[in-house]
Amino acid sequence: MTNISITKQPHNGQNKSIGSLSTHFPSIDDFFDKFSGNWPFLHPAFSNSGSTSMSLNPKVDIVEDDKSYSLSAELPGLVLDNINLEISDGILTLSGEKKTEKEEGKDSNYHMMERSYGFFKRSFSLPPSVEEDKIKADFKKGVLHVSMPKSAKAQQQQRKITIKE
């Protein structure tokens, strides 16, 4: 099992002003996703991502149990050196790049190219119950697993509510 490092970014107090729409909404789906509210794990509105065009969109699963949240992201074809996981102001950001595997200098003519290459960046708002200092991640067989434990206080506050007929 390979461990991936998580970088905690300090808040730099930069002004997060709203610029052009193309800066904040690289696709129409992103535009509508910005209006989804403050549900846990949805990326924040108008994040200051400074991203370029993104050609990859890794799929993620997020699961909750009594003690933690778990995020799994499919990153086939990527190597650990090309994956970044950062946390800043309650936002978990996963980014990386899958580089093309073209062999330079060969006289090859591509007839079909269906595999995706390029840069990606996904951000998730963490619920306040996550203990940010205890987040751990590992990368194995093309899948990134991120474990985000809940605080003891959050675990104690969970209770089942009885539903009456």
Q: What is the pLDDT of residue 8?
A: 64
Kindly report the pTM of this predicted structure.
0.62
In the chain, which residues have pLDDT < 70?
1-55, 102-107
Q: What is the pLDDT of residue 53?
A: 43
Distance between CA atoms of 118 and 83, rounded to whole angstroms? Answer: 12
**Which overall architecture, per CATH, does domain 30-99+116-157 show?**
Sandwich (2.60)
Q: What is the pLDDT of residue 27?
A: 60
Query: Which H or E run includes 32?
Result: helix 28-33
- The gap between the terminal CA atoms of the chain, to the nearest Å, is 49
Q: What is the pLDDT of residue 50?
A: 39
Distance between CA atoms of 138 and 149, rounded to whole angstroms? Answer: 15
Q: What is the pLDDT of residue 113?
A: 75
Distance between CA atoms of 34 and 21, rounded to whole angstroms? Answer: 12
CA distances from 23 to 54, 94, 107, 143, 163 (A): 12, 18, 38, 29, 46
